[in-house]
Amino acid sequence: MAAPFAELLASRLNEALARTDFSADLPDGFSPKIDQTQNRQFGDYQSNAAMILAKVLKRNPREVATAIADAFDGGGLFEAPEIAGPGFVNFRVTTAALTDRLSALIADEVRIGVALTDAPKTIVADFSAPNVAKPMHIGHIRGTIIGDCLTRVATFLGHRVISDNHIGDWGTQFGMILWGWKNFLDHSALEADPISELLRVYREVNAKIAEDETLRDTCKAELVMLQSGDGENLAIWERCIEVSKIGLQKIYDRLDIRFDHWFGESYYNERLAPLVDELIAKGIAEESEGAICVFFRDNEKLADKPALIRKSDGGFLYATTDLATIDFRLEELEADVIWYVVGAPQQLHFDQIFAISAKRGQKAELQFIPFGSILGKDRKMLRTRAGETVQLADVLAEAVDRAMLIVEDKNPELSAEEKAAIAEVIGIGSVKYAELSQFRMTDYIFDWDTMLSLKGNTAPYLINAYVRTRAIFRKLGSDFAECGEVVLTEEAEKALLLKLAQFAEIVPTILEDFRPNALAAYLYEVATTYHQFWEACPVLKVEGEIRQTRLALCELTGRVLRCGLGLLGIRTTEKM
């Protein structure tokens, strides 16, 4: 498979710069930036290299642009450049190059032109990480869905990705749960819905503590017994984790998300004391008022923000566990890169952890991938009418119920089984796409009507575009066979083909700044471009090579949408 058009253009533009009269004065390492044009009226690609160089060369930008255009050789791939505005250089892909690319992309059924990375890495992806014995709430959508998408993209690009659900299975809340388990637990309710029952128990203990503060000490005593290895409390704790995982897995199954490991906080308990001793011995940590801290006196950003790694009572903290986790991931999982897909308020915590890792001489690339909040229509944190946090399971169930209403309205003739399957795809896909179509740091408003709309930048719109690509073959009465000779006769055909070819350009960029929204935006452009093609170019009403070419475009569009949505973690359906 040939390189993406943008990459080929950059290479030829560099060659053109080397032939200009100012080549000797080019800045060291200068490489022209290539952008896709927003309007094909101005070409397919654009470069502002002339305007950047004009400042360095102290020449007129259009004069520099003219020199570049005169020196440019498209080699049959690109037409002669055009100069626009203050000095933009615009380029168009030739029809011959587009024709060849369609045949090549159709032949590349799995990768659709996307190259494997030439520098594969072992990446540990830490995302979702709910607390045991508590239900996942709507705030877990972001980290869970973003982390899964990035994992899918990195795997597709050829990296070895290890997903780790670092669940919160050790902490002060377990003292309350242990006491509540012994006094309030409904075992039949636990079997039916474990997380809801554990939450009920936790809330009941909280209410009792509000009435009698001495109960808090009783719960702490239960926790101390657990930490000391008490057999009964360990058995309850293990059972609590077991049933919690069963409840959590139901949500992950519905989201079509899998983890390679569930190494929770408790997994690292035995590593904590030796770790702190090592940090003290190496002079990285020191005692302060009975506690053990790491100070960052040589770090302006953290100079007044020391990290506490052991409390004065001997207890350890999240920071200690996360440092031990890094050790494990480097030593046992052999990670080159570790991703932490966690909410933005944890920035300071990870700044400290990463700084300590650097002090220890660890070489792994540690990436904090933060995200913003989900808001209600009042632009406040989304909550139920009762003021409680919205549960993720309830959101997913309501999404599917609302999608079912749409399916029943549009396709009442379908069987109950077909309706249920389609509603599941649309409902879950809509929740995922509403998240992934946003820049991850944006606080966005959760709006049912918007996310389930068949119009605009939504999952139903994109899935419907895919369904249209399949409907043409149902009408034809057969699946796509072969491309044959490609004949492009209409601008709508060329526009669609160029957009499809750019799949190979967009996918590798997603990991540059962890931007699933860039892929979502691209897929929306594919869908809108396909609908324009659909309106302008009849498929089954024409014959011969033109029909075969348009069928190939329909097939390729379907593949790009199915693969692209799959990278977002969104399934497709053949009917809608």
164 in helix, strand or coil?
strand
**In this structure, are 429 and 558 located in the same domain?**
yes
**For residue 332, what are the CA distances in angstroms to 274, 329, 411, 540?**
17, 6, 52, 57
| Cα gap 180→184, rounded to integer Å | 5
Q: What is the mean pLDDT of the chain?
A: 94
Range of the domain at 70: 5-93
User: Where does a domain end: 255, 270, 304?
Assistant: 255
78 in helix, strand or coil?
strand
Quickly count: other Cβ atoms within 10 Å of residue 210's Cβ: 10
Whether 113 is in a domain gets the answer no
**For residue 106, what are the CA distances in angstroms to 41, 549, 564?**
27, 11, 16
| Residue among 23, 14, 265 nearest 133 (CA) | 265
What pLDDT was estimated at residue 386?
56
Whether 492 is in a domain gets the answer yes
Question: In terms of C-beta density within 10 A (0-12 exposed, 13-18 middle, 19 or more buried), how is residue 59 classed?
Answer: middle
Region for 365 from its dihedrals, namely left if φ exceeds 0, alpha if ψ lies in -120 to 50, beta otherwise: beta
Whether 527 is in a domain gets the answer yes
CA 17 to chain centre: 37
Quickly count: other Cβ atoms within 10 Å of residue 212's Cβ: 9
Over residues 233-292, the pLDDT tens digits come to 999 999 999 999 998 999 999 999 999 999 999 999 999 999 999 999 999 999 999 999
Lowest mean pLDDT among 120-124, 367-371, 445-449: 445-449
**In this structure, are 438 and 535 located in the same domain?**
yes
Q: Which whole number is the average pLDDT over 176-184?
A: 94
**For residue 367, what are the CA distances in angstroms to 54, 161, 294, 400, 502?**
37, 14, 21, 34, 27
b/e code 504-536 from CB counts within 10 Å (16+ = b) = bbbbbebbeebbbbbbbebbbebbbbbeebbee
Q: Which whole number is the average pLDDT over 126-154?
A: 94
Confidence grade of residue 172 (pLDDT, cut at 50, 70, 90): confident
* Beta-bridge partner residues of 293: 286, 308
**In this structure, are 55 and 196 located in the same domain?**
no
| Cα gap 398→355, rounded to integer Å | 43
For residue 411, give the CATH number of its domain: 1.10.730.10
Give me the count of residues in the chain.
576
44 in helix, strand or coil?
coil
Paired sense of beta strands 88-91 and 82-84, if any:
antiparallel
Q: Could you write out the DSSP letters of every residue in 201-247?
A: HHHHHHHHHHH-THHHHHHHHHHHHHHTT-HHHHHHHHHHHHHHHHH
What pLDDT was estimated at residue 224?
85
For residue 41, give the CATH number of its domain: 3.30.1360.70
Helical ranges in 230-365 per DSSP H: 231-255, 269-281, 318-331, 347-359
Amino acid at 326: I
**In this structure, are 508 and 415 located in the same domain?**
yes
H or E stretch including 82? strand 82-84
Whether 145 is in a domain gets the answer no
Whether 477 is in a domain gets the answer yes
| Cα gap 521→505, rounded to integer Å | 13
88: Cβ–Cβ under 8 A, 6 or more apart, which residues?
A: 42, 46, 47, 48, 50, 51, 65
**In this structure, are 411 and 514 located in the same domain?**
yes
- Dihedral (C-alpha) 425, 426, 429, 435: value to the nearest 10 degrees? -160
Question: In terms of C-beta density within 10 A (0-12 exposed, 13-18 middle, 19 or more buried), how is residue 81 classed?
Answer: buried
**In this structure, are 215 and 69 located in the same domain?**
no
Q: What are the tokens at 397?
A: 């169930």
| Residue among 79, 73, 75 nearest 93 (CA) | 79
**In this structure, are 418 and 519 located in the same domain?**
yes
Whether 265 is in a domain gets the answer no
Indicate whether 382 pLDDT > 80.
no
Torsion angles phi and psi, residue 161, rounded to 5: -110, 130
User: Where does a domain end: 188, 222, 255?
Assistant: 255
Instruction: Report the percentage of the chain scoring pLDDT > 90.
Output: 85
| Residue among 153, 39, 57, 104 nearest 516 (CA) | 153
Whether 104 is in a domain gets the answer no
User: Where does a domain end: 93, 114, 147?
Assistant: 93
| Cα gap 148→453, rounded to integer Å | 24
**In this structure, are 70 and 210 located in the same domain?**
no
Instruction: Report the percentage of the chain scoring pLDDT > 70.
Output: 99
Whether 431 is in a domain gets the answer yes
What pLDDT was estimated at residue 228?
84
Indicate whether 524 pLDDT > 80.
yes
- Identify which has the larger pLDDT, 243 or 146: 146
What pLDDT was estimated at residue 387?
59
Task: Give me the number of domains the chain comprises.
Answer: 3
What pLDDT was estimated at residue 385?
58
| Residue among 484, 478, 576, 568 nearest 526 (CA) | 568
Over residues 10-31, the pLDDT tens digits come to 999 999 999 999 999 999 989 9
**In this structure, are 64 and 205 located in the same domain?**
no
**In this structure, are 427 and 529 located in the same domain?**
yes
Confidence grade of residue 196 (pLDDT, cut at 50, 70, 90): confident
**In this structure, are 413 and 556 located in the same domain?**
yes
Q: Which whole number is the average pLDDT over 478-501?
A: 93
The verdict on pTM exceeding 0.75 is: yes
Cβ–Cβ under 8 Å, residues 463 and 429: yes
**In this structure, are 543 and 415 located in the same domain?**
yes
Q: Which whole number is the average pLDDT over 396-416?
A: 94
Over residues 300-358, the pLDDT tens digits come to 999 999 999 999 988 899 999 999 999 999 999 999 999 999 999 999 999 999 999 99
403 in helix, strand or coil?
helix
| Cα gap 457→444, rounded to integer Å | 14
* Beta-bridge partner residues of 45: 36, 91
| Cα gap 242→307, rounded to integer Å | 33
